[in-house]
Structure 1
Amino acid sequence: MGWLWGDSTASAQPNDAYSKLDPALRDFLDKESPLKYEGPSKPKASPDAASNEFRSQLGWTEPAPTTEQASTTPAVPPESLYQDGRYAHLWKNYRPRAEIEAASQTEADKLRSVIAAYNDRRAAIGRAAVENCVMEQLAERECWESGNLRDMMNMCRGPNRQFMRCYTMQSRFLKALGYLGLERSEEEEERIQMHADRLYHEMLARETAAEEARKSGLEVPVLPPLISRESATAALGADSAYAQAEKRTEELGSSSGLRLADYTPERQEQIKKQLASLNTREERELEMQLIAAERRAQLEIAERIQERFAEERKSRADRRERGRESVGDTIKRMWGWDNDGGQK
């Protein structure tokens, strides 16, 4: 009489209509139905149930993000210690310090930053030159600490001259090879420093060979220049600061060698006196190469300053069009700064 009174298992599963059927009817349905009835599905535990329970125990009211939520949650910036999305709401308005400083800089600040970067590069040249002349510096120090009486009476003049000449020539080689460049990697800095040291020791070897040839009454051999585009590019790379300076010189229509017409009359007189003070032809040729290479290195800083002046003129023009011209903008416009980058 299960049809009339039902089955005792119905009370165990009140929400299961299948269990309320007569056993004979359930057998018939099991035989005739292609799909087997598995009973009511039990709620599956969420994979985040344990983490949510742990968070609730710690007093965190927000549940752990699910997989779908994690995929839509914006990634936190790399400055965050938690790259899995935690505390993303604290980082949503984050801006790097460099970006904030760049946005808040005025035209004068940008110009000062270029000059400050140039001064930093000059200081870095001094440190790199001392590193390349460490052996000469140690020789001078040993002379002062444990030198003989003659060296002490001469104030260690010999080792001091060797160190000062090494420091001066290494600095000039570094400048000529593009160490003053504002955008360089550490690898390029190391290549420039190593190549400058190599050029200095090659210069010393050439001087020794020339002196021995003169003592022997032989003709001094004519050697290729120490600094050339082919050798420097091969040692530093096609994308190095030296190669960029050479390219910039060509774009400006100037010669890569020393040309007195590119300098002011005062500077021309200084160069002539500087070359006349040298004794040998090799020294004069090297001096001309270094002067020309230093000029190419200085073109980058001049170009950066002109870019800053152009940006300042554009900003002043934009403020004038919007009717927000300041008193300083008016004075600069009256003095003709909008025509030639700041010089009347």
Structure 2
Amino acid sequence: DSITATTSSPLERLVSARKDRRDLLSRAALENCAFEHELQQTCFTAGSAAARARARMTMCREETKAFNRCYALQGKFLQALGYMSRSGSSDDDEERIQMHADKLYHRMMDYEAAVDRARRAGTPVPPLASVFEASRPSPSVQQLVELEPEPSSSGGRGLVEKKIRELQLRQGLEELPPHERELAVRAALQEAKMTYLYSEEMKEYAREMDGKRKERQRRLSRLVGEPIGRFVIPDPPPDQGR
């Protein structure tokens, strides 16, 4: 890794860091769903030949559904909590986020189980609290957007608003259970911020490269004249030089 870091370009390292974050987030979600994954694998491999045949026929539907949902929700919790999104954070910091994501996931599962028991018994459904702060009521989508601190520029804010609109169209936020809606919005907001920061880093890299290009162009122009200097080291198209 150290060899790669010294031989790759800043752009390659920037792109690689983003990919690494996605991979690490996926791995953390899988680790948090180890129990559900084990149940799924046991369904396929354990028991008699007849039981395994039934498992293949049903594709272990319930176990697979539980594992897939765990993986999806754990991933959203990790996103919402900013897993692997802070430069300079320690392994202990990231592990605490991973453990907290798992805690919040199981709190959500406990709430769903309590709702199911109440409905079966015909008793009042437990009051809905925020999945992130149990002492507070679950916020509406609009409250979540308004409470989120704005990014450092109007461009960043626009990305957040665009992400919410995309989410509303793609997932039908209003159709999601309220506790999942809060999770989906918080995860989307965090990812929108990460996209904004990534775009800012890319812009900074482009400005740095353009500055170096101009300096090379100036040096060459002093030696062979400006027309040849601009021909050998041309200016970027107008829409790329901004």
TM-score of the aligned structures, taking structure 2 as reference length? 0.73
Spell out the pairing of 1:1-344 with structure 2 (5 A cutoff). Answer: 101=7, 109-147=9-47, 148=51, 150-181=54-85, 183=87, 184-215=89-120, 216-226=122-132, 249-252=150-153, 262-263=161-162, 268-269=165-166, 271-276=168-173, 278-323=175-220, 329-332=233-236, 334-339=237-242
**2: CA distance, partners of 1:225 / 1:126:** 21
**2: CA distance, partners of 1:189 / 1:182:** 9
Q: Shift of residue 320 of structure 1?
A: 2.9
Q: Which amino acid aligns with 1:125?
A: L
Segments of 5+ residues of structure 2 without an aligned counterpart are: 135-147, 222-228
Counterpart secondary structure, 2:85: coil
Q: Which amino acid aligns with 1:200?
A: Y
Q: Shift of residue 118 of structure 1?
A: 0.8
Could you tell me whether the CA contact under 8 Å between 1:181 and 1:300 is conserved in 2? Answer: no
Could you tell me whether the CA contact under 8 Å between 1:118 and 1:180 is conserved in 2? Answer: no
Q: Shift of residue 150 of structure 1?
A: 4.6
Q: 1:254 to 1:260 in 2, by over 3 A?
A: closer
Q: 1:208 to 1:153 in 2, by over 3 A?
A: same
Could you tell me whether the CA contact under 8 Å between 1:125 and 1:174 is conserved in 2? Answer: yes
Q: Which amino acid aligns with 2:118?
A: A
Counterpart secondary structure, 2:186: helix
For the pair shown, the structure with the greater C-alpha radius of gyration is 1
Q: Shift of residue 211 of structure 1?
A: 2.8
Segments of 5+ residues of structure 1 without an aligned counterpart are: 1-95, 229-245, 340-344
**1: CA distance, partners of 2:231 / 2:133:** 51
Q: Shift of residue 323 of structure 1?
A: 3.1
Q: Which amino acid aligns with 1:300?
A: L
Q: 1:298 to 1:165 in 2, by over 3 A?
A: same
TM-score of the aligned structures, taking structure 1 as reference length? 0.53
Q: Shift of residue 309 of structure 1?
A: 1.3
Counterpart secondary structure, 2:220: coil
Q: Which amino acid aligns with 1:335?
A: P
Q: 1:273 to 1:214 in 2, by over 3 A?
A: farther
Counterpart secondary structure, 1:139: helix
Q: 1:308 to 1:261 in 2, by over 3 A?
A: closer
Higher relative contact order (CA 8 A, sep 6+): 2
Could you tell me whether the CA contact under 8 Å between 1:143 and 1:151 is conserved in 2? Answer: yes
Identify the range of structure 1 (143-152 vs 116-125) with the bigger mean alpha-carbon deviation. 143-152
Relative to its length, the structure with more helix (as a share) is 2
Q: Which amino acid aligns with 2:238?
A: W
**1: CA distance, partners of 2:6 / 2:20:** 22
**2: CA distance, partners of 1:268 / 1:217:** 36
Could you tell me whether the CA contact under 8 Å between 2:167 and 2:173 is conserved in 1? Answer: no
- Match in the other structure for 1:39: none
Q: 1:126 to 1:260 in 2, by over 3 A?
A: closer
Aligned length in residues: 216
**2: CA distance, partners of 1:255 / 1:329:** 33
Could you tell me whether the CA contact under 8 Å between 2:104 and 2:131 is conserved in 1? Answer: no
**1: CA distance, partners of 2:238 / 2:161:** 28
Provide the identity percentage.
Answer: 30
Counterpart secondary structure, 2:172: helix
Q: Shift of residue 255 of structure 1?
A: 9.0
User: Which whole-Å deviations, capped at 9, do the CAs of 1:5-32 have from their partners, x for residues lacking one?
Assistant: xxxxxxxxxxxxxxxxxxxxxxxxxxxx
Q: 1:199 to 1:270 in 2, by over 3 A?
A: closer
Q: Which amino acid aligns with 1:226?
A: F
